[in-house]
Amino acid sequence: MSQRQVLQGLEEYRKARLQFVQRVAEQATRPQNLETLQSAGVISLLRPLLLDVVPTIQQTAALALGRLANYSDDLAEAVVKGDILPQLVYSLAEQNRFYKKAAAFVLRAVGKHSPQRAQAIVDCGALDALVICLEDFDPGVKEAAAWALGCTSRHNAELSQAVVDAGAVPLLVLCIQEPEIALKRIAALALSDISKHSPELAQTVVDAGAIAHLAQMILNPDAKLKHQVLSALGQIAKHSVDLAEMVVEAEIFPVVLTCLKDKDEYVKKSACTLIREIAKHTPELSQLVVNAGGVASVTDCIGSCRGNTRLPGIMMLGYVAAHSENLAMAVIISKGVPQLSVCLSEEPEDHVKAAAAWALGQIGRHTSEHARAVTHTLPVLLSLYMSTESSEDLQMKCKKAIKGILPKCTYLPALEPFLYGAPPNILKHVLGQFSKVLFPWVLRHTSAESGQLPASYQLSRVIFLYYNSRRSFMSNIC
């Protein structure tokens, strides 16, 4: 056999390997093919090709494995059990930028599914290799590495701590300063995923100087980047008063309030979430939000969107109102109650209605003036509470809201519907209010010695006189 024939056979073998990995990579994009590929043992066939002498074959094999692992946890588990991750990590530091991106994609596709898969990424030593990739000159390699680190850290605090211990945070902060928008997005997302688990992890991100750079990027016109930046700031602010104050000190309110008018629904939701996470901590922080016009802006935002996008804004109004009478009055003045009433009546999702019911309860529980502002919502709250179609959480929130508002409600016409349809556990509060408001008037209009009257007689006497002498009663009150 001549040398030419030998080389021809090797070339045919090379072409066959390349054709095989390209076909598998292309077929892996179609979900209907994945079960067949898995049952055929394609993962074990791709494994040796990761060490192929031809770089294109290596990269395409890694791409095919990434697409397979990306589809489901079962396929990701098969990749882990196939002992493929150590090979990827070994080659990650030595190969070219195309292979690095493909290998990081496999690690991301495996780690995103569950804490167990992400732990496998940590156990094989991939974090150190990914952190080194964050220092690569190629923005695409940095982006792929940052994405893999974010998918690993999103699951729990232990995995996030492992990412922090590998030294990822300072390099991620440098990545958000790069000019490439895609890299900024992924790095901001990774910082958000790290920050969300605990105050200590959020403090690590703050100590790396992330807040100032994130705050500057809120002005960026790219909607996806704004969404990730606002989300990261919200994840930092949610943990403690000190962290929330650090976010506020970056003077974010003017630009965040402009985001509430953004065309992108995700930007609106993230902006509302950030304001909510700041306002929930203390009356002082809520007052800062009110002074900046945040309550009025959030109220307008709730009116301009639908569904889950409304949820953080609804909760923000509830948190502000819960702190004090004055802050609850600020919500009323900003016309928050009509918007909450609309959400309670029109939203199809029970969890959104439950949030609106909770917020109304926080507004109405302070004084009779606050209760009067929300009395028109009481029939709707009662209807949702008694409906068999309402979820358990919605019923509970409505019940708590009613019981919070009723003790402060002195406007009796609003309570009249409850006398006919309210269940006993609600009716007793209604009758108590009738007794509390009307009994002093009854004492002036009865010759009986009120101190000696049985409680049941007093109550029936109160309601009887109320219904038969309403005009006289109202003139007396006035």
Structural contact between residues 202 and 190, judged by C-beta atoms closer than 8 angstroms: no
Mean pLDDT of 96-115: 88
Structural contact between residues 414 and 377, judged by C-beta atoms closer than 8 angstroms: no
Structural contact between residues 317 and 331, judged by C-beta atoms closer than 8 angstroms: yes
Residues with Cβ within 8 Å of residue 56, at least 6 apart in sequence: 18
Query: Is residue 260 predicted with pLDDT exceeding 80?
Result: yes
Structural contact between residues 313 and 265, judged by C-beta atoms closer than 8 angstroms: no
Average pLDDT, the chain: 84
pLDDT of residue 222: 92
Structural contact between residues 254 and 217, judged by C-beta atoms closer than 8 angstroms: no
Structural contact between residues 111 and 69, judged by C-beta atoms closer than 8 angstroms: no
Query: Is residue 234 predicted with pLDDT exceeding 50?
Result: yes
pLDDT of residue 95: 72
Which among 211, 272, 273, 197 has a CA at the least distance from the CA of 242? 211
pLDDT of residue 307: 85
Mean pLDDT of 58-77: 87
Joined tokens for residue 298: 């959030």
- Enter the DSSP assignment of 23: H
Structural contact between residues 166 and 133, judged by C-beta atoms closer than 8 angstroms: no
Which band of pLDDT confidence, cut at 50, 70 and 90, is reported for residue 448?
A: very low
Structural contact between residues 165 and 130, judged by C-beta atoms closer than 8 angstroms: no
For residue 149, what are the CA distances in angstroms to 160, 211, 376? Answer: 9, 20, 51
Structural contact between residues 379 and 341, judged by C-beta atoms closer than 8 angstroms: no
Whole-number CA gyration radius for the chain = 31
More confident residue, 454 or 324: 324
Which band of pLDDT confidence, cut at 50, 70 and 90, is reported for residue 230?
A: very high
Q: What is the pLDDT of residues 273-285, one digit of tens each?
A: 999 999 999 999 9
pLDDT of residue 444: 54
More confident residue, 374 or 466: 374
**Whole-number Å distance between alpha carbons of 157 and 161:** 6
Within 97-222, residue ranges assigned H as helices are 97-111, 115-123, 126-133, 139-153, 157-165, 168-175, 181-195, 199-207, 210-217
